[in-house]
Structure 1
Amino acid sequence: MKEYKWEVGTMYVDRNAFKECVTSYAVHSGRGIWFSKCDSHRCKAVCKEGCKWFAYCHKMKREDSWQLTSCYKKHTCSKATKIGIMSSQWLSKAFMKKICENPKIKLRSLIKKAHSKWNVDLTMTKAARVKQQALDEINGTYGEQYRRIHDYAAELLRSNPGSTVQIQVERPPEFELETPPPGTDLRPQFQRIYICLEACKRSFMTPYGGQLLTAIGWDPNDQILPIAYAVVEAETKDSWRWFLLNLCDDLGVDKIRWCTFMSDQQKVTLNLNLCN
């Protein structure tokens, strides 16, 4: 984005797309750009006083798209460490992945990251606002996923006939009232889900027995999730080695080297040289 080429005739989906492009360019190039005009039909970005750089975008007739109609590409100013148009909303998108991986990240870490990556100054107040906006967006995404949990259950039953999926929700006490108080949120909240796949049921109902080996992960959000499982003839050194070698192939040996394994104290998992 630092070397972004401004070309007359470039099309943008809407005004916000143009503004976001200008903001990204300003942050990455370290220029004190601001919007001198911005309404429903035109948007002009200029650099600080004394610099001739500008970019003028106009809304197309009978369309929602916008087009860059004129610009001056060269800067005659020095770089800035305070970018006025670098909004907390833009920063929250830029830091979204980092905050998603570590929701407990410290504000000073965000400030240092902004300074090392873009050489811009970020206050504690703005860093807090950026983090909160990113967390709100992340949690909103999670909420949307929970709203589709019945779709997930239906897809499991469709693709795995004979399986069992039970969803239990929690409703507020006012739900039982014939006329609940106005403004009461009566939407159900997810409480628990039970899943038993038909193929897994059949495998444990055979007369041949077997053991279940599982690999469970623990992510940065302190959430536990299944990674892989296998049904084997018995829990032996050979079966564990076979299972873990397959896990290495899937996750990659380089990543496995940095993993910490916690077992249920089964001695067969000790001294397994997985790298050979």
Structure 2
Amino acid sequence: MDTSNNIVAIVYFDGSISTATNEGVTFICDEPTFFTIPQSMSFVELNAGLCQDINGGSKREVVKIIYRCPISIVNGNIKYQAVKISSDNDMRLLCMTYRQFQPHITVIELYVEFEDVAKANDDGAGPNSCPVKEQCDEEVSTSCPANQQCNETVLRSCSANKQRDETVPCVSPANHQCDETVPSSYPQLEEVKPSPFPIRGTECEINNSEIDNFLEQEHRSGGNGADDTDGCEDEENVPNRVAIEHPFKPVPFMRTLDLEAMHAPEFPEYVNVSKNYAANGKLCVGMLFKNKEGVVQAIKNYSLSKSVDYKVHESEPATFYCKCKYFGSGCKWLVRVSFIKNKDVWEIRRYNGPHTCNSEMVSQDHTKLDSDMIAQHIGPMVRDDPSFNVNHVISEIQSRYGYTTTYRKAYLAKQKAIENVYGSWEGSFEILPKWLEALSLIVHGSIVELETLPAYHGTELLPNVRLFHRLFWTFGPCIKAFEHCKPIVQVDGTHLHGKYEGILLVAVAQDGNQSLLPIAFAIVDDETVDAWYFFLFNLRKHVVMKDGVTIISDDHESIKTAINRCHDMWAPPKAFHMYCIRHIASNFLRKFEKPYLHRLVVSIGYSRTEREYNYHYKQMRQHGDAYTKWLDEIPREKWVQAFDGGHRYGHMTTNC
């Protein structure tokens, strides 16, 4: 069953409705419950479902349903109003309102008022809840107008919808009561005797004078005559249900059920249309396809599985006809597929198979195993992880089809698969402004800074065309979450790979449990001074707005220059700039190519006391003054823990 269109509701009952809140209307209940509402549910179905799910076996009925309806959103706060639900049109408006306020509202809230059935009966609510005396009066007199002739029997039961465990008095329409009582149930069914009350169809229509005469005779006789049909019958012979003389014995075919029918396709004539290739790996006359691409794909799959090849002789908008590559040299394989207009499908109308040629004639790299077919096969792989290398594509195709494709074909196939799954590179940049606009509207508090450049064709300026330059963005929840994190920001960049390369700059914070929180992002062309200034300026302006914060980064000159360009935004005492030890040790190794000294550089940076620092520093000097001289060029308060003033909180790298 498809539940994608169901709405989850929280149902309140046996509680109260409060209007003294900032949200307008609020429902109060000790134990609210969940209830599922399909968008096609009617009001009657909602009523019945609430009675069944909430009341269970208790005798209570729904008298009112109140919907907590959202009417406005102001600064992220939703205002509600109480709306009564009483019809199918109200149900449609409820579903429409729910869709309009998504995703701000994920569930709907209903308040249901119940009333005991017994209480409703005492109040005289409805024909099925009236007292027994009134029901009998209504059934015998009111529903039987005079001067009508009927040909069937009348059953005088006081309430056909209730189970009665005790006898009740039968009352005449003229307030003439029988002295006898009518039992509410009988141990067995008996034949219904003809009644002096004729009925026509389903409406009982009786002359009032006939009723009076009958009841008077019944009262006189006292109901003792077993064979007297004009008197009040004996208790055991009062007909209150239709009798069955013989048990029902269905014929055999009525007991034969086709249990497989419940799993049969709804449109069997189209069952194979969605399958582009038969599961048994064969082609046959009558096979159906949704489109021409499916036809070509099926024939290619067949040729690859049989290690054969073919040539296309006709490829028209309504026809596809091909023969074996060696047709006329002993092999008569061919297939013709045509478009059936009245069915809107492609069908194999002619097929000569299988191949009788030698499969060894096909080369190791099959000609029909082109980049388009490979791209279709590796589509799920790209969707799961687009970072796999091209050699993995070659291995996958060899395992699946038994052919070793070229590196170039595998590379092109991967690029096509990426485009099929994620769209083209150019298309991604085109939809970026719309995506950013949607981000700003949906994720409240999010900040987006997009910079573009004018586009030129030669020396001519292209109107209404802009080139992507760089982008900064942060999410509103991340900005609020940073207020509860350590006053530390770790920034770094990583290269983007693809048709259009670039750099992704990221700022990360940490909470008290060492959990990471990305707080800001930027896409720039390269790690230049302008790019880092663009990122750090917006980071300080929109996210890191409190003072006393520490920023940890690489000791790259572009970062240091960008921080200086920001003037006092990242300067003490508002902020403290520290260097990542991992980058310093990596730069040392790149400079001197001494792997055995790499660990000693890290030990110097992690020194917690000045004594520990002097010990490791002296060890480094013993290996040569050039190494300590290079380290001395870096201010030790920027990278040695013993001299950082406690601003690093023990965090020494940007790798967290």
TM-score, normalised by the number of residues in structure 1: 0.61
CA distance in 1, matches of 2:395, 2:444: 53
Match of 2:634 in 1: none
Name the one with the larger strand percent: 2
1:23 to 300, 304, 307: 300
Structure 2 residue runs without a partner (length 5+):
1-276, 517-579, 583-604, 607-649, 652-656
Task: State whether structure 2 residue 511 is matched by structure 1 residue 232.
Answer: yes
Counterpart of 2:331, as a letter, is: C
Number of matched pairs: 232
Distance 1:42 1:14 in 2: 11
Letter in 2 for 1:149: L
CA contact (8 A) 1:218 1:224 kept: yes
* 1:85 equivalent in alignment to 2:85: no
Residue of structure 1 aligned with 2:355, choices 61, 75, 79: 75
1:142 offset after TM fit, Å? 2.5
Contact 2:378 2:417 (8 Å CA) reproduced: no
- Provide the identity percentage: 14
| Counterpart Cα distance in 2 of 1:147 and 1:224 | 19
Distance 1:112 1:218, change over 3 A: same
Unaligned runs of 5+ in 1: 234-238, 245-262, 270-276
User: Displacement of 1:137 after TM fit?
Assistant: 6.7
The alignment yields a C-alpha RMSD, in angstroms, of 4.5
Residues 3 and 174 (structure 1 numbering): CA distance in 2 closer, same or farther, change over 3 Å?
closer
The answer on 1:11 being equivalent to 2:288 is yes
In the alignment, is residue 210 of structure 1 matched against residue 496 of structure 2? Answer: no
Q: Report the residue type matching 2:338 in the other structure.
A: H
**Contact between 1:174 and 1:186, CA under 8 Å: does it hold in 2?**
no
State the partner residue of 2:140: none
Aligned-pair CA distance for 1:37 = 3.0
Partner residue in 2 for 1:172: 455
Seen in structure 2, the aligned counterparts of structure 1 residues 189 and 136 have a Cα distance that, compared at 3 Å, is farther
1:197 lines up with 2:475 in the alignment:
yes
Aligned residue for 1:40?
317
Amino acid of the residue matched to residue 308 of structure 2? R
Output aligned runs, 1:1-276, within 5 Å.
3-47=280-324, 48-49=326-327, 50-61=330-341, 65-80=345-360, 81-82=362-363, 83-94=366-377, 100-102=386-388, 105=390, 117-120=400-403, 122=405, 127-128=407-408, 131-132=411-412, 134-135=414-415, 138=418, 141-172=424-455, 180=460, 187-204=465-482, 206=483, 209-210=485-486, 221=497, 231-233=510-512, 239-240=513-514, 243=515
- Could you give the per-residue CA deviations for residues 7-31 of structure 1, whole angstroms, max 9, x where no partner exists? 4322223223211221122123311
CA distance in 2 between partners of 1:6 and 1:101 (Å): 36
> Cα gap change, 1:211/1:65 in structure 2, threshold over 3 Å: closer, same or farther?
farther
* Contact preservation (8 Å) 1:111, 1:121: yes
Q: Is the 8 A contact 2:374 2:413 kept in 1?
A: no
Shift of 1:165: 1.0
* Gap change, CA 1:45 and 1:196, over 3 Å in 2: same
Q: Distance in 2 between matches of 1:189 and 1:7?
A: 53
One-letter code of the match for 1:165? Answer: V
Q: CA deviation at 1:141?
A: 1.8
Q: Which has the higher contact order (CA 8 A, sep 6+)?
A: 1
Q: Identify if the C-alpha distance between structure 1 residues 76 and 115 changes in structure 2 by more than 3 Å, giving closer, same or farther.
A: same
Q: Determine helix, strand or coil for the equivalent of 1:101.
A: coil
Q: Specify the structure having the higher radius of gyration (Cα).
A: 2
* TM-score, structure 2 normalization: 0.29
Q: Do 1:211 and 1:232's aligned partners in 2 also have CA atoms closer than 8 Å? A: no
